[in-house]
Amino acid sequence: MTKILKQHAERRLADVPDQYIFWCHDGRVLHSLHELKDALEMMSDETYAYHANQEKNDFSNWVKDIIGDDKLSRDLSRSSDRRQAFEYVKAREVFLLSKL
């Protein structure tokens, strides 16, 4: 298991640069894991399915490629629904905040 250092936690919790924001199908714009967590809690199942289905998982890809959190990316790729994805992001945010 990889140890998460304070600077890694800070980077993963920070807002991403404007060119890397996540545009949700429902019009939401996400800048951080915190905003992803809030969006997953409130978005419709249809919006979630647009981004995460058998062919792709945009949330997992964004978290891996932009946020830089491989563990959360793997968890999101295994999520069976929006609620489970929300719980994964919520737990990861709590964990990262504990490292600050």
Domain spans of the chain, in order of start: 6-98
What confidence score (pLDDT) does residue 4 get?
76
What confidence score (pLDDT) does residue 1 get?
54
This model's pTM is above 0.85: yes
42-71 exposure pattern, b = at least 16 Cβ within 10 A, e = fewer:
ebeeebbeebbeeeebbbbbbbbeebebeb
What confidence score (pLDDT) does residue 2 get?
65
What confidence score (pLDDT) does residue 29 get?
99
> What are the residue ranges in the chain where pLDDT is below 50?
none
Contact between 84 and 54 under an 8 Å Cβ cutoff? The reply is no
What confidence score (pLDDT) does residue 11 get?
96
